[in-house]
């Protein structure tokens, strides 16, 4: 059994080999009561660097991670754009239509346009990607001019909250002397802050 010594300060029984370490940890101010040899041993023991544990190494990394997370959260909160005020929200159903195979005759299709917002939605214009395609808009019993690729007249229309209009798209196959598949787009400009321009697409295969 290892030799024990009683600490003269607190009376704790300590292994003789550990007495200097006990003094250094528990009674650092009472070391003068020890012999010179014991005090020298304590100084040597205290000045000797202790091996760092894995937890000691992890603490700075954990602290840095917490600082980064908190800082990132504050930055995200302060830099996130403010939510837009209540406004009109445009929705088109469907957004794509396939006429399939067609002969050399005009075809058309109706697309429903909704204002899903809580305030009025303003339409600022309609245009198309090709002269073969044109469109007009009907709302509350009134119909807009026919819009195409070029020379469209200035036009605006306001759709009430929860309102519904109809976009009619026309395709004229005689504009193309060739046959085959074609894709054409129709563009609707609006006051919706989330999507200022909505695209409606048609497909046709001329035979």
pLDDT tens for the chain, 207 residues: list them.
Answer: 567 667 766 677 766 677 677 666 666 655 545 556 655 655 555 455 555 555 555 666 666 666 666 655 545 544 545 445 568 999 999 999 999 999 999 999 999 999 999 999 999 999 999 999 999 999 999 999 999 999 999 999 999 999 999 999 999 999 988 899 999 999 999 999 999 999 999 999 999
Nearest to 198 by CA among 132, 113, 119, 131: 113
pTM metric for this prediction? 0.60
- Cβ-based burial of 130 (10 A; exposed 0-12, middle 13-18, buried ≥19): middle
Nearest to 200 by CA among 135, 132, 122, 150: 135
- Residue-range domain boundaries for the chain: 4-79, 90-206
Distance (Å, rounded) from C-alpha 115 to C-alpha 120? 7
Domain at 90-206, CATH class: mainly beta
Distance (Å, rounded) from C-alpha 65 to C-alpha 67? 5
In a 3-state reduction of DSSP, which class is residue 22? helix
In a 3-state reduction of DSSP, which class is residue 134? strand
Q: Is the dihedral of CA 7, 13, 17, 21 positive or negative?
A: negative
């Amino acid at each position: 059994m290892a030799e024990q010594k009683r600490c003269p300060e607190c009376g704790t029984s300590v292994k003789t080999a550990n007495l200097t370490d006990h003094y250094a940890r528990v009674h650092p101010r009472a070391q003068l009561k020890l012999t010179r040899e014991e005090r020298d041993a304590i100084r040597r023991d205290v000045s000797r660097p202790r091996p760092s544990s894995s937890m000691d190494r992890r603490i700075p990394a954990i602290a840095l991670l917490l600082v980064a997370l908190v800082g990132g959260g504050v930055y995200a909160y302060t830099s996130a754009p403010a939510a837009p005020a209540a406004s009109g929200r445009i929705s088109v159903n469907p957004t794509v239509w396939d006429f399939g195979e067609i002969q050399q005759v005009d075809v058309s299709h109706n697309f429903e346009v909704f204002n899903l917002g809580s305030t009025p939605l303003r339409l600022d214009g309609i245009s198309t990607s090709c002269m073969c395609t044109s469109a007009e808009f009907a709302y509350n019993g009134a119909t807009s001019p026919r819009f195409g690729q070029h020379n469209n007249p200035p036009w605006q229309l306001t759709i009430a909250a929860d309102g519904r209009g109809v976009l009619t798209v026309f395709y004229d196959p005689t504009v193309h002397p060739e046959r085959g598949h074609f894709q054409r787009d129709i563009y609707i400009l609006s006051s919706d802050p989330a999507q200022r321009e909505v695209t409606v697409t048609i497909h046709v295969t001329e035979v």
